[in-house]
């Protein structure tokens, strides 16, 4: 599959049309989705919308927007008007959102074709997409393995050429980890760069929408379209716009290396692979400096306390009446019984566990002891990173401690599953941007390199990443 | 550590009913996570550590935004039961 820029050129010069692109993707979906389960629903109007774009291109001899005619996929916790938004949950299986998320509105304004909605762990809670009510997404490289999560559907869809790019959401690694497992590019922007209006909330101080793509230019282009301040998301900020990435001189770059990210839980082959990457970068003249992030070892603990507390508050709104309703309601029951019946039947195990944990975390006694402590440690981790970026330009780590694991391998032990996110969660806690790029394979399973940068340094990260591509 | 009864009570507060099997399983799983989280007790802050307050409130005008009739219809239709312009739900209080 060609890159978005190359495809745009072909569209403009009449060598292809948007309808053909959509049909090519739909053909791939038809062939592969029954095995991979990346898509939950397809936009019935996709072909019609493509025809409209084709007509405009023919009439004006111009592309009506930065993503004109390009078929994209959207994670099913991001609202697309006219399509169901299930968030991977039985609770929302009938929910048709009455409005559009800001990111999708922007994609449409840029001429993109929304092809369909992709699978995820229920309410984005998980690291394997096994927690989806609609069944797990499988890894295109090995169907017995997970695609990662929670944006597993988006990553697998991009990897198996069912779309040209996709949006995901990242609360603790949910874009970067599946991108790494599926051998594609994924970026979690700085907290505030992209509006979350129309994202089904999980943990609001951590959630961020971002792109997944086949290469660095596509990734930058998608981010460029969706970013920006939005009055409907008060946490969004005015930003320096994204430019297309340009290769940089690596000899002027300082890389931070922190042993906290190369601990005992790291697969020895991944460790070897990432060390080789660091070596190659060093040979290009980049300086590698050891940095200390002493509080980082506590990041996962902080994350699980803060995330579950916020999730239990955000998910209180699901009562069975709103958001499409459910069939579990008997009007003869009293209200409390209806709430309980609905939530008992419509939430899956992982959601229930996190809600229970969140309520516990916020309960009297525990809150003082741990939750407030977690907030303080979060601040210490932030200061660790801020100090590190006074000395270095980027911090390089593996994206995940292991390559894609077997379906069913970790599902019965939540703590083992949570440890999957150990290298990605610190970044969400501090709100900085980070990218995962494919840097090789171990026994046919992709390995991801994580590049972390300072606040709003996406342009620098993307250009640096582009400069690395020629080294592999 | 957290007991099975505590788990059940927390679930009740979340409006979730658990079977015995679920309560047992969740207790084991959550306790394992809590045992891990206990590492926070070991955190030693530097003597001069001061949390920097980064959070700030963002305000907007408190004014009503009109939505179109179509949007209003869609919102009402996205509930499970509708009666006219009302959403129908069971009674909160029991009849005597």
Here the ipTM equals: 0.92
Nearest to B37 among A231, A304, A344 (CB): A304
Supply the CATH number for residue A422's domain. Answer: 3.90.1300.10
Rounded to an integer, what distance in angstroms lies between the CA atom of residue A348 and that of residue A89?
8
Q: A186-190, A414-418, B52-56: which has the minimum mean pLDDT?
A: B52-56
Residue A118: the pLDDT is 98
Q: Which residue out of A56, A75, A84, A188 is catalytically annotated?
A: A75
Residue A42: the pLDDT is 98
**What's the rounded mean pLDDT across residues A326-354?**
90
The mean predicted confidence, pLDDT, of chain A is 96
Residue B58: the pLDDT is 87
Above 70 in pLDDT, residue A455?
yes
Nearest CA in chain A to B36: A301
**What's the rounded mean pLDDT across residues A329-343?**
87
Residue B95: the pLDDT is 67
Residue A472: the pLDDT is 78
Residue A378: the pLDDT is 95
Residue B96: the pLDDT is 61
Residue B54: the pLDDT is 67
Above 90 in pLDDT, residue A70?
yes
Residue B47: the pLDDT is 78
Nearest to A98 among B15, B51, B74 (CB): B74
Given the DSSP bridges, would you call strands A71-75 and A39-42 parallel, antiparallel or unpaired? unpaired
The burial of B2, by beta-carbon neighbours within 10 Å (0-12 exposed, 13-18 middle, 19 or more buried), is given as: middle
The residue ranges of chain B whose pLDDT is under 70 are 53-54, 95-96
Above 80 in pLDDT, residue A314?
yes
Nearest CA in chain A to B44: A295
Q: Kindly state whether B67 is in contact with chain A, defined as any CB-CB distance less than 8 angstroms.
A: no
Q: A9-18, A164-173, A269-278, B48-57: which has the minimum mean pLDDT?
A: B48-57
Overall size of chain B counted in residues: 96
Tell me the domain boundaries of chain B: 4-42
Q: Which residue out of A150, A169, A195, A436 is catalytically annotated?
A: A150
Residue B48's SS3 state is coil
Domain count, chain A: 1
Q: State pLDDT tens for residues A204-222.
A: 999 999 999 999 999 999 9
Q: What is the pTM of this model?
A: 0.96
- Domain boundaries, position A440: 1-472
Residue B53: the pLDDT is 65
């Amino acid at each position: 599959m060609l890159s978005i820029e190359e495809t745009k050129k072909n569209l403009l010069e009449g060598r292809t049309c948007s309808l053909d692109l959509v049909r090519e993707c739909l053909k791939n979906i038809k062939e592969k989705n029954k095995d991979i389960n990346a898509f939950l629903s397809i936009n019935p109007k996709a072909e019609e919308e493509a025809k409209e774009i084709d007509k405009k291109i023919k009439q004006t001899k111009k592309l009506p927007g930065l993503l004109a005619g390009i078929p994209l996929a959207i994670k099913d916790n991001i609202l697309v008007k006219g399509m169901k938004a299930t968030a991977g949950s039985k609770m929302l299986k009938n929910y048709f959102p009455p409005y559009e998320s800001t990111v999708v509105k922007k994609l449409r304004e840029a001429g993109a074709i929304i092809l369909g909605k992709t699978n995820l762990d229920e309410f984005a809670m998980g690291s394997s997409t096994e927690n989806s009510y609609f069944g797990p997404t499988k890894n295109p490289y090995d169907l017995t393995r997970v695609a990662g999560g929670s944006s597993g559907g988006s990553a697998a869809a991009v990897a198996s050429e069912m779309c040209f790019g996709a949006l995901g959401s990242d609360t603790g690694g949910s874009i970067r980890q599946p991108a790494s497992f599926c051998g594609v590019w994924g970026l979690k922007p700085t907290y505030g760069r992209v509006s979350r209006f129309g994202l089904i909330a999980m943990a609001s101080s951590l959630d961020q929408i971002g792109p997944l793509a086949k290469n660095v230019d596509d990734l930058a282009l998608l981010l460029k379209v969706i970013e920006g301040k939005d009055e409907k998301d008060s946490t969004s900020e005015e930003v320096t716009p994204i430019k297309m990435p340009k290769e940089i001189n690596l000899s002027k770059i300082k890389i931070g290396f922190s042993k906290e990210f190369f601990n005992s839980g790291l697969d020895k082959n991944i460790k070897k692979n990432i060390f080789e990457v660091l070596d190659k970068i060093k040979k290009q003249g980049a300086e590698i400096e050891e940095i200390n992030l002493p509080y980082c070892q506590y990041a996962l603990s902080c994350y699980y306390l803060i995330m579950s507390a916020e999730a239990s508050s955000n998910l209180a709104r699901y009562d069975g009446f709103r958001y499409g309703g459910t069939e579990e309601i008997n009007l003869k029951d009293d209200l409390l019984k209806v709430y309980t019946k609905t939530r008992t039947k419509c939430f899956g195990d992982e959601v229930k566990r996190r809600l229970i944990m969140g309520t516990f975390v916020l309960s009297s006694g525990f809150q003082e002891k741990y939750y407030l402590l977690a907030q303080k440690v979060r601040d210490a981790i932030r200061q660790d990173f801020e100090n590190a970026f006074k000395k270095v330009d980027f911090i390089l780590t593996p994206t995940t401690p292991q390559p894609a694991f077997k379906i069913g391998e970790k599902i019965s032990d939540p703590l083992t599953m949570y440890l999957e996110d150990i290298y990605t969660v610190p970044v969400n806690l501090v709100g900085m941007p980070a990218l995962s790029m494919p840097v090789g394979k171990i026994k046919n399973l992709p390995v991801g390199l994580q590049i972390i940068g300072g606040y709003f340094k996406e342009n620098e990260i993307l250009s640096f990443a582009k400069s690395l591509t020629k080294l592999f | 550590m957290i007991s099975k009864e505590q788990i059940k009570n927390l679930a009740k507060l979340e409006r979730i009913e658990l079977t015995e099997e679920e309560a047992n399983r969740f207790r084991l799983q959550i306790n394992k996570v809590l045992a891990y989280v206990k590492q926070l007790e070991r955190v030693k802050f530097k003597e001069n550590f001061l949390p920097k307050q980064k959070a700030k409130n963002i305000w907007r005008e408190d004014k009503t935004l009109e939505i179109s009739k179509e949007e209003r219809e869609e919102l009402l239709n996205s509930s499970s039961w509708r009666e006219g312009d009302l959403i129908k739900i069971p009674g909160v209080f029991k009849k005597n």
